Every structure is written in C-alpha cells, then in structure tokens.
Amino acid sequence: MAEKDIKDMSFEEALAELEAIVETMEAGKVDLNSSITTYERGEKLKKHCEAMLKQAEARVEKITLSSDGQMTGTEPLDVE
C-alpha cells in the first residue's frame, strides 16, 4: 500500500502515523535502512503537525468586552 502524501493528511492522520512510527522504532522492529527512511518520514510528519498547530493557533482569538460587558471586537489569544 502506498503512503499517503503528507500534505494531504489531516492533523489527526499525521499524528496517528507519527505515533505508530515512534512505537515501531522504539520497539526496534525495523532494520537500519528502513529505520532511516522511517525516521525521515517521521520528521516530515512532525513538521506538518507543527505547521497545522501554528495555523490553528493563529486563528484562535479572544473576544474583547467593554466595561459594561458589550463585545468590542477580538484580539489574538495570548499563547505562552
């Protein structure tokens, strides 16, 4: 079965595959050549997940209220 193109994966799909890769590599179930290829795919999946999280973070806003409780607008959410 061909591997799905990472750029077409949802966050959940990419994370699930990344977790499976980590489990496989930690268990030592792949030979050296396969582990290098698998590691490289894992790195790409990790970067894809990080990029999707940053996009989601940028879209999250908090609602600002006036002193009487009326909505005045939105501003970026402070993420620390």
For 28-57, the pLDDT digits (tens) are: 888 998 999 999 999 999 999 999 998 887
Is pLDDT above 90 for 18? yes
- For the record, the structure tokens of 64 come out as 């600002």
Q: What is the pLDDT of residue 57?
A: 77
Distance CA 77, CA 80 (A): 10
Check if the beta carbon of residue 45 is closer than 8 Å to that of residue 39: no
Q: Please tell me the pTM assigned to this model.
A: 0.71
Four-CA torsion 6, 40, 46, 52, nearest 10 degrees = -30
Q: Is residue 26's pLDDT more than 70? A: yes
Cα angle for residues 13, 16, 18 (degrees, 5° grid): 105
Q: What is the pLDDT of residue 71?
A: 76
